[in-house]
Amino acid sequence: MTHDMARGKRIREAISRGKFRKVHALAAELEVSVAAVSRWQNGGHTSLESACALADLLDVSLDWLLLGRGTMDWHRNSAISATELQMVLALRNRSAATRSNLVGLVESIPPEHP
């Protein structure tokens, strides 16, 4: 991974929202140096292993942390039901026009509130 200031900013944000108020405590928990955490916060190189451990420890989405995709808590809402998966798989065999029409149909149905 290359130097990436946006990634460093996301790492700083995740740390500030997490349970670790001191970088030293975070570094100790991850079994890395304080300098390594500082380097990550400044957009420096992060190994995939360290990024996974950091995302797991701070309970943030790895996609968001590394790439800025989705939201910080996207991983908590990513599970789909068996029915949703069945619908996705069925739609893959349909044309783009059919998929678009079906999305329009579903969106036209008022949401149900439990």
Predicted confidence pLDDT, tens digits, the chain (114 residues): 457 999 999 999 999 998 888 999 999 999 999 999 999 999 999 999 999 999 999 999 999 999 999 889 888 876 778 888 898 899 999 999 999 999 999 999 998 876
Query: 5-77 maps to which CATH number?
Result: 1.10.260.40
Tell me, yes or no, if the pTM score tops 0.75: no
DSSP 61: -
- Domain spans of the chain? 5-77, 80-114
| C-alpha to C-alpha distance for 19 and 102, rounded to whole angstroms | 43
Nearest CA to 3 among 39, 38, 37, 36?
A: 39
Q: What tokens were used for 69?
A: 């995709």
